[in-house]
Amino acid sequence: MVSVLEKSRIPELLEDLSKKYSVAYFQKDKTALSAKGYFFPPQETLFSYLFKNKKLSLSPKPKKKFLLFGLDPIDLEALDQLDEIMTKPKEDYFYLQQRKNSVIVGLAEYPLKVPVTVGDLILDKINENQYRAVALSKIGRELIKNKNFKLEKNPEILNYPEETSGLRELVKDSEFLSEVVLWSWRTKHPIWDKLGKICLGCGICTYVCPICHCFSIEDEIKLDGSDCQRCRLWDACTLNNFAKIAGGKNYRPNQKFRYFNWFHHKFVRAYKEYGKSQCVGCGRCQKYCPAHIDIEKVLLEIIKDYKNEKSLSA
Amino acid sequence: MKNLYQPNFAKIEKIEALSPSVKLLRLRKRLNFIPAQFVLAGVWGYGEAPFGVASSPYEKRYFDLMIRDVGMVSSAIHSLKKGDEITIRGPYGNGFPLEFLKGKDVVMVSGGCGIPPIASLIEYFIKNRKNFGRIYLLYGAATSEDILIKDKIKQWGKADVKILLTVDKPTSDWQGYTGFVTELIKEIKINPLDAVAAMCGPGPMTSAVEKILRPLGLPDRRIFVSDERKMHCGIGKCQHCTTGDKYVCLDGPVFNYDQIDKNWD
């Protein structure tokens, strides 16, 4: 027996779920941002400190669990990576608390062939009217008991194409990308000078990326001076002061260095740390870069030259 | 789950000007650390910044920081007084490889405000003096005023540490050397086959010294440098302190020159 959900019942299901959970329906086409902000907000208060009684406190836990509905397989993969990054080698308390307090329901627009490794419940489209439901956790098994799901013996399973892109295919070979990106810097590939001039250093690629996670911690004092909030804010390694220390020395003194660092982290250091590129090929940075930098084209260009050189030297 | 961002509080037991721009902060708190490990010290309203611990790792009652008034946090710390509290997280980082240094001649090189981790290392050497060969401290600063903790340095000299001090701009009563730290290398006598170097100071100084240590016969892997970067989290998440494929907060701050040399940033 297969548990299925009629497409038309999604609103009703969400309505039901919002009695118990605070529900967010993530619709990729309605926002430039990824879903990472639900667990790693653009700005969050880590600690509050009251000057009067020298009391340090953490933000209170929300009363309801948070349910995130609608992540597609690409964003689920990104979330899985971010979970790993925030757990190893040391645990990021604030991210993991928010993750622990959450329930993830994935939504694929094609029948899944590869099992998903993150989330509580996965819905995948099997025909024009129905999604198949697979529970991945205890909470997922609870959710599936909702009256909007029903059991069917042989639902029609049609073949819809998996969402993919050139970039998504490229990042599958993270070992190769790690080698090529490092090679391009060591051999002073002209593309980095070129990109250093084109990149505006605005940080948008980092903000829209579902895996980029760099941040700064800054203090804010209330206007009346009574309390101080230690906040965590999104940062971006392409911004000009990211590697600048007190006294003025900037370890990445120009945009070429800063832009390359973005690549180096994603494809070289990430591969060394976690064995994969920190890119799932979601396409957001390609779509939203105001300077129209397309990382797929960048990768293809250096791959082409890398292969040329290797075949010449062989 | 432990909250690694949660700071502890430490009371300032003593605050003392070491030079016109550097203050010593003695904090009443026990800290178990290895020389060159660092803490993130913070002042509410200004934030946190990394500082190397300057006192002996054997000191149980307190630990010292030496803080140059150069950024937002350090300048806020300079305005504090005895009895005030600051926040502390750490210690973080790897520290000098003490076991590896055992039995060897050691050349320590420091410049300007790079002395704290070196000072802590010297205190460790003195406590375990017989385990090490010849020990040198080469310390350079702009003026004699900028040579910090002169009394301490005198004591070290008496404890069989060969001290070589140099300044760029000597005054008439200056008795040490004049010029860059690199000039002092010719004064040292070590067995390069069984020696190590430990450095902390401004980047141009450490790279210049390294160029001189190599011809002396010291391989890159035995030249240790305590590196510096911007830092927000201290636990390998925020990405500010990365250098090549390393994190200064987790893999450093001490690197051997072989690791640093290949880095692109």
Of A130, A152, A174, which one is at a domain's C-terminal end? Answer: A152
* A215 to B49: CB separation less than 8 angstroms, yes or no: no
Looking at residue A239, its amino acid is L
A100 lies in the same domain as A179: no
Q: Which of residues 254-273 of A touch B (CB under 8 A)?
A: 257, 260-261, 264-265, 268-269, 272-273
pLDDT of residue B260: 84
Going residue by residue through chain A, which has 314 residues, state the pLDDT in tens, using 9 for 90 and above: 899 999 999 999 999 999 999 999 999 999 999 999 999 999 999 999 999 999 999 988 889 999 999 999 999 999 999 999 999 999 999 999 999 999 999 999 999 988 888 999 999 999 999 999 999 999 999 999 999 999 999 999 999 999 889 999 999 999 999 999 999 999 999 999 999 999 999 999 999 999 999 999 999 999 999 999 999 999 999 999 999 998 889 999 999 999 999 999 999 999 999 999 999 999 999 999 999 999 999 999 999 999 999 887 76
d(CA A160, CA A163): 9
pLDDT of residue A9: 97
A173 lies in the same domain as A269: yes
A117 lies in the same domain as A239: no
Nearest by Cα to B200 from B221, B181, B177, B178: B181
Q: Say if residues A88 and A117 touch (Cβ distance below 8 Å).
A: no
Task: Please count the structural domains in chain A.
Answer: 2
d(CA B178, CA A204): 51
d(CA B197, CA B6): 35
B238, B243, B250: residue with CB nearest A214 = B238
User: Does the global pTM surpass 0.90?
Assistant: yes
Q: Which element (helix H / strand E) includes B120?
A: helix B115-127
> How many angstroms away from the CA of A274 is the closest CA of chain B?
12
> How many angstroms away from the CA of B250 is the closest CA of chain A?
9
Residue with token string 């320590």: B108
ipTM: 0.93
d(CA A247, CA B75): 11
A133 lies in the same domain as A186: no
Q: Residue A36 belongs to what domain range?
A: 2-152
**Sign of torsion over alpha carbons A277, A278, A284, A289:** negative
Domains of chain B are: 8-92 (2.40.30.10), 98-261 (3.40.50.80)
Residue A161 falls within a domain, yes or no? no
Instruction: Work out the percent of chain B whose per-residue pLDDT is above 70.
Output: 100
DSSP code at position B252 = -
A186 lies in the same domain as A131: no
In the three-class reduction of DSSP (H, G, I as helix; E, B as strand; rest coil), residue B165 is classed as strand
